[in-house]
Structure 1
Amino acid sequence: MSTLEEQIEIGAPADATWEHLHRVVDYPRFVDGVLHAHARGSHRAHLDVAVDGGHREFDAYFTDLGRGRVMTWQTVDGPPLRGAIALRPLGAGRTRVQVRIEYEPAAVAEVFGGGHGFAQASAIERTVRSDLEQFKQLVEDEQR
């Protein structure tokens, strides 16, 4: 199992940032490759993801922990992925978003294609950084 950790500071209060994390229908706006997403109840999301010229659908299960500050998630019927997103208030109108993702490299390569080893880890890291930047832009734009 491989682990990736990233973080970013967002110019918005933690409550507003937390609310955005729960807007599943907005995931295509900031998660690379997600074509369509919708909630299935309060703790499940259905995702349609672009994969190597086609698409694949799978569900993810979410759990809220830490009184609105930590969300854990894991895929239910797709590639074995899981992670956590933690929000840390940094004062008035600033929040640190910390992301931790755990994945099985061989399973990710089988489902999504791409390189193996260092090339795959680098691609996943770039994607997560880009997703965080897009999430930051979405949240901050709506705060203005």
Structure 2
Amino acid sequence: MSTLEEHVDIEVPIDTAWDRLHSVENYPRFMEGVRDARAETGGRTHLDVETGGRTREFEAQISDRGKERVMEWRTTGTPKLAGSLSLQPIDPNNTRVQARLEYDPGTVRETFGGPKGFAQANAIERLVRSDLEQFKEYVERER
């Protein structure tokens, strides 16, 4: 299992970032390849993701550690992916968003295609980094 951690600093209060993070229907606005997203009952989320010219459906279970401002998620089917997003206040008007992704490189390659080895790790890192930057733009624009 591989682990990736990335972060971005956002110029909004932590409560604003936390609320935007929980607006599942807006995930397509900042997550690469996500075409549709909706919250379902019991902390489940449904995502339609376009990758390699194909659309795939994913279900994820989301749980919060609200007082700690940590959202954890894991897919409920294949591919097996898990991660978390944690928010830490920098000051009253700025927040750090830390993303952590746990994945098996072989499973990701089989599911999404793409290169092997180091090139794939770099591609995943770029994707997570890009999603964080898009989240930053989305949140700061919508404040």
- TM band (smaller chain): over 0.9
d(CA) in 1 for partners of 2:127, 2:58: 19
Asked if residue 73 in structure 1 is aligned to residue 92 in structure 2, the reply is no
**Partner deviation per Cα, 1:58-77 (whole Å, 9 max, x = no partner):** 10011101415001000011
**8 Å CA contact retained: 1:71, 1:86:** yes
User: Which residue of structure 2 lines up, in the alignment, with residue 18 of structure 1?
Assistant: 18
d(CA) in 1 for partners of 2:42, 2:13: 23
Equivalent AA in structure 2 for residue 112 of structure 1: F
Asked if residue 135 in structure 1 is aligned to residue 135 in structure 2, the reply is yes
Asked if residue 96 in structure 1 is aligned to residue 93 in structure 2, the reply is no
- TM-score between the two structures when normalised by the length of structure 1: 0.96
Pairwise CA distance, 1:51: 2.0
Structure 1 residue runs of 4+, over 4 Å off? none
Pairwise CA distance, 1:20: 0.7
Structure 2 gaps of 5+ residues are none
**Partner deviation per Cα, 1:77-125 (whole Å, 9 max, x = no partner):** 1311100111000112100001110001111000000011101000000
**8 Å CA contact retained: 1:18, 1:68:** no
Equivalent AA in structure 1 for residue 48 of structure 2: D
Partner of 1:90, secondary structure, is strand
d(CA) in 2 for partners of 1:72, 1:29: 20
- TM-score between the two structures when normalised by the length of structure 2: 0.97
Tell me how large the CA RMSD over aligned residues is: 1.0
Q: Alignment identity in percent?
A: 54
* Number of aligned residue pairs: 143
**8 Å CA contact retained: 1:70, 1:87:** yes
Partner of 2:32, secondary structure, is coil
